[in-house]
Chain A
Amino acid sequence: MERVILHCDLNNFYASVECLYNPEIRHLPVAVGGNPKERRGIVLAKNQLAKKFGVTTGEAIWQSMQKCPNLVVLKPNFELYMRFSREVREIFSRYTSLVEAFGIDECWLDITAICKKKEEGERFAYEIKELIKAELGITASVGVSFNKIFAKLGSDMKKPDAVTVISTEGFREKIWSLPAKELLYVGRSTDKKLQKSGIYTIGDIAQASPLFLKRQLGKWGETLWYFANGMDESPVHRIEYEQTIKGVGNSMTLPRDLHIDEDVKTTMFVLAESVSRRLRNHGLKGKTIQIYIRDNELSGCERQGMLRNATNLSFEIANKAMSLFRESWDWHLPVRSLGVRATGLSPGEEYTQMTLLGDDEKRNKRELLEIAIDRIRDRFGHYSIQRAVLIKDRDLSANPVEENVIHPVSYFR
């Protein structure tokens, strides 16, 4: 028998939890996001009512307020959301141990083992959805299919509080007419490239030649062809949300626009310190440094580069980030937000290649220094010890460590 995979997506997760706990705001448009007084706040989630006003996830809160002046903005309470996430997983575990978290509010479940016939998948999907509603007071959309990609697609097709089945027999009629970007991993830029080749729908991808797609998009193109034809064989891994760290990153929207390298350097150090701190907390080192730059007209770009040795040192991360920035930004516009991320993670204890120039001793010293700084901050607070470069401009030297702990996740592990 073919596999029975569910993808369960908690609808407007943060906003739904807040609405459950605050009955008085349920009939109002609600957004959950950072501090609306400072400019850094962005919308992390919104409820259906806010959606009707055009509020979108990821935009700045001041933008949402312009669209919807009555918007209720709440600060996120991640601890509470984590508790809900765990309790939802406990419900899943009554059905199967094969549960794979994809972010905090989405999971795949492989329930093949408990289905005598594949048609039973739909019944279990309804059952699980109703259990979540009764026990936790929030709704979920569930996609049922024979592979993970289509299950995910299904959970996006009908929202909220719904079940969508995509079967082997019916998937062509059901999803081939959907826009290509609905498929997992067809992002904005891939979509643009596809459109240039006259590929607009998932069906277009499926019927294109895999070789052609590979030429256009690289290895990805071929993978997308497999996805569109229902040939995704990837298994459901047992993965907890906490285990899904693929990269450690922080980004900040600045309290004022930046115009010169010096300001960017300050910010890069703030971000790098936070990234390096979190790498150390997780016992990890990163080999690839990525930066993210967004200008004041809100278009962004990403650049990345490899380090010679995997690192968790803020100094090395900041310098790499800064050199990437200098290479890629010509100051055609002021900068509004910046991000730094370390990926290519490995356990921190790994052996490293010694350098010929012999600056390894210096490196070890720096590492000890940063650990000492961590300890001082644990005892006396984040601002008790700072780099001189950060004291020059206190506006830019916020502490992002606590502000952003949601990690990006990857499908391929």
Chain B
Amino acid sequence: MRKVFVQVTASFTKEGDLVPMAFTWENGSKYGIDKVLDVKKAASLKVGGHGVRYLCRVRNKEVVLFLEDGKWFLEAK
């Protein structure tokens, strides 16, 4: 698996929580995040890293997005 840093569009809720809305994949295509299913602090043993882990639904697939030290990355195949 690869650690792929991506550009993310995110918004803040009234409570101050950060919610990712969409990300741009390596090839330039943009993916909207339909729903954030789970948020917790976690390590990514698969690609190496740790931070806030967002489990997201994107086009009916589950995608794991990490926010580490101000940067977003994905666990990619």
Taking beta carbons and an 8 Å cutoff, which residues of A are in contact with B?
20-23, 83, 87, 133-138
Give A357 Cβ to nearest chain B Cβ, in Å: 55
Q: Is the CB of A137 within 8 A of B44?
A: yes
Q: Is the CB of A134 within 8 A of B45?
A: no
Closest to B52 in A: A135
Residue of B42, B44, B46, B48 near A22 (CB, 8 A) is: B48
Does B32 count as interface, using CB distance less than 8 angstroms?
no
With A20-B43, A83-B69 as known contacts, state yes or no: A135 contacts B50, CB within 8 Å. Answer: yes
Mask, B26-67, CB within 8 Å of A = 1, is: 000000000000001111111111100000000000000000
Closest to A134 in B: B42
Closest to B49 in A: A21
Please indicate the chain A residues that have their CB under 8 angstroms from the CB of B47 in the complex: 23
Most A CB within 10 A of own CB, among B40, B41, B46, B50 = B50
Given contacts A20-B49, A134-B43, A137-B50, 14 further A-B contacts (CB under 8 A): A20-B43, A20-B48, A21-B48, A21-B49, A22-B48, A23-B1, A23-B46, A133-B43, A134-B41, A135-B40, A135-B42, A135-B50, A137-B44, A137-B45
Question: 18 pairs across A/B with beta carbons < 8 Å?
Answer: A20-B45, A20-B50, A21-B48, A21-B49, A22-B48, A23-B45, A23-B46, A23-B48, A83-B69, A87-B50, A133-B43, A135-B40, A135-B42, A135-B43, A136-B50, A137-B43, A137-B45, A138-B43
Cα A136 to Cα B42 in complex, Å, equals 6
Number of chain B residues whose Cβ lies closer than 8 Å to a Cβ of chain A: 13
Cα A23 to Cα B69 in complex, Å, equals 19
Give A235 Cβ to nearest chain B Cβ, in Å: 30
Cα A20 to Cα B3 in complex, Å, equals 12
Summarize A's interface: helix, strand, loop or mixed: helix
Sort A-B residue pairs by CB-CB distance and give the 3 closest, nearest first. Answer: A137-B43, A135-B41, A21-B48
Give B16 Cβ to nearest chain A Cβ, in Å: 18
Please indicate the chain A residues that have their CB under 8 angstroms from the CB of B40 in the complex: 135
Give B46 Cβ to nearest chain A Cβ, in Å: 7
Cα A22 to Cα B69 in complex, Å, equals 17
Give A143 Cβ to nearest chain B Cβ, in Å: 23
Q: Is the CB of B43 within 8 A of A136?
A: yes
Give A382 Cβ to nearest chain B Cβ, in Å: 28
Cα A21 to Cα B46 in complex, Å, equals 10
Please indicate the chain B residues that have their CB under 8 angstroms from the CB of A22 in the complex: 48
Please indicate the chain A residues that have their CB under 8 angstroms from the CB of B69 in the complex: 83
Most B CB within 10 A of own CB, among A21, A22, A83, A87 = A21
Give B5 Cβ to nearest chain A Cβ, in Å: 14
Cα A83 to Cα B48 in complex, Å, equals 15
Please indicate the chain A residues that have their CB under 8 angstroms from the CB of B43 in the complex: 20, 133-138
Cα A138 to Cα B41 in complex, Å, equals 13
Cα A75 to Cα B44 in complex, Å, equals 22
Please indicate the chain A residues that have their CB under 8 angstroms from the CB of B46 in the complex: 23
Please indicate the chain A residues that have their CB under 8 angstroms from the CB of B44 in the complex: 137
Cα A397 to Cα B42 in complex, Å, equals 44
Closest to B53 in A: A135
Closest to B41 in A: A135
Cα A134 to Cα B52 in complex, Å, equals 11
Most A CB within 10 A of own CB, among B40, B48, B49 = B48
Give A389 Cβ to nearest chain B Cβ, in Å: 43
